[in-house]
Amino acid sequence: MKTTIYTPNNDESIKKLDVVSWGGFTVFSISAVIIAICLPEISKTFSTDLSEGGGLETARNLLVFIVVLVAGMLAQRWGKKRFLTLGQYVIAAGLLLVSVSQSYAMIIIAIMLVGVGGGFSEALLSPLVVDIHKHNSGKFLNISHAFYPVGIVGAALLFGELLTRGYSWRLIFQIAAAGTLVVAILFTVMRFPPAEKDDSSYPKLFASILSLSGFWLFAVALFLGGSIESALTFWSRSYVETYLSDVPRAGTFAVVVFATAMVAGRFLTAYLSNKMSLNSIMIYSVILGIVVSALIPLASSLFWFYSLLALAGLATACLWPTLMAEAGNCLQVNTTILFVLLSCVGIIGFGFAPWIMGSIGDNAGLKSGFAVLPLLFVVLLFVLFIEKRRYTMPVSRGA
């Protein structure tokens, strides 16, 4: 094991590489939400239906899933910089290829490239922050992860305005590709800190965790939580333009409302985590989610839809990070490998919900597709009650 000593003062300060990593989180979030923002225009260009639109997100998440599985092993052997930097260039290339695509099949290939680059970001950005701030990683991980929803909000506002003003969706992908290229170049010239190296066998660690029934309990919960978050992010704009307003700005503002509520919800969860158990926070959130998601298809105006979507964002916000924290508290295993495996399952959930809702929407309307959300929340509530009975945990130190 090789370690590097950092002084407390040095560990507290913001480094140039911190700022570049914030750009990495922002780029990753933009690459994840840009299809949802531009989906109506892409569908018109290629005459695709709802299930084909949802299939774009499924294709991206499939590649993110595969790359996350192998990125940790690759980075351990050859270093994070090589693969994290490569990931940014691949995202930029994929976004640019989308902008010049002349068929649905070509877009699928381009989105899969974006997924490859996104997989390296998903797997390596958080460990990079820990390498930079070994003695104060909690603080800087929270700061860094805040730039993911910031990227979603910024993309929705900027790209929604451009679409409203009549600019092509192709230009939007080119702008995103250019921004990603800047981040890639900055990663290229940055000096990375040395990382700790662990010579433990990855396959044995994977197998030991996968053999635990408790892992699969949390995996199912994260699959459901990822599905809910993805569904609301991906289909909100299309829902607005289908039922409430055909102005692009109105649809993209729905994404802004949801992402902003997610930010607020995660800060609220951090505050409440010292006052009640993480499981209780999630149970109350899921109960709110059941009620709100059941009411969303009944919203007859933008005001009520935005209001319900904001409440849905609050209900959904805690699920991903809090399930991760609870799993780390309950399962006495290698936390890094545990988080990689749980992220993989959550990524599958992210790709599943947009596709299944789009398929239902093609046959019975998008409102019927949204009826899946209360069902997902109900099943998640059932899983959380099982977890509560199985693991009686004291009040957590935090989410």
Q: With both helix axes pointing from N to C terminus, report the angle between 147-164 and 248-272 in degrees, rounded to the nearest 10.
A: 170
Residues 281 and 238 in one domain: yes
Residues 303 and 373 in one domain: yes
Residues 283 and 252 in one domain: yes
Residues 153 and 186 in one domain: yes
Burial 361-392 (b: 16+ CB within 10 A, else e): bbeeebbebbbbbbebbbbbbebbeebeeebe
The last residue of a domain, from among 147, 162, 191: 191
Residues 151 and 285 in one domain: no
Q: What is the pLDDT along the chain (399 residues), one digit of tens a residue?
A: 333 343 444 555 778 898 999 999 999 999 988 887 888 888 888 877 766 666 676 777 777 778 888 877 777 678 788 999 999 999 999 999 999 988 888 888 898 899 889 889 988 887 787 778 766 554 566 567 778 888 988 888 888 889 888 899 999 999 999 999 999 999 999 988 875 555 566 677 778 888 888 899 999 999 999 899 888 887 887 888 888 887 777 887 887 898 889 888 877 877 787 788 878 889 999 999 999 999 998 888 889 999 999 999 999 988 887 887 788 778 877 766 777 788 888 878 877 887 788 888 888 888 888 889 999 999 999 999 998 888 764 444 333
| The pair of three-digit structure tokens given for residue 48, joined into one six-digit string | 């695709």
The last residue of a domain, from among 146, 162, 191: 191
Residues 209 and 316 in one domain: yes
Residue 368 lies in a domain: yes
Answer yes or no: are the C-beta atoms of 278 and 264 closer than 8 Å: no
Residue 364 lies in a domain: yes
Nearest by Cα to 236 from 216, 259, 214: 259
Nearest by Cα to 86 from 176, 191, 187: 187
Q: In residues, how long is the chain?
A: 399
Answer yes or no: are the C-beta atoms of 56 and 173 closer than 8 Å: no
Q: 194 to each of 5, 55, 73, 134, 197, how far by Cα in Å? A: 10, 39, 16, 11, 9
Residue 5 lies in a domain: no
Q: How many domains does the chain have?
A: 2
Residues 390 and 275 in one domain: yes
Which residues, 6 or more positions from 364, have their beta carbon under 8 angstroms from its beta carbon? Answer: none
Q: Is the pTM of this model over 0.85?
A: no
The last residue of a domain, from among 191, 209, 242: 191
Domain with residue 185: its CATH number is 1.20.1250.20
Residues 211 and 173 in one domain: no
Residues 21 and 100 in one domain: yes
Query: 98 is in which domain, residue-wise?
Result: 13-191
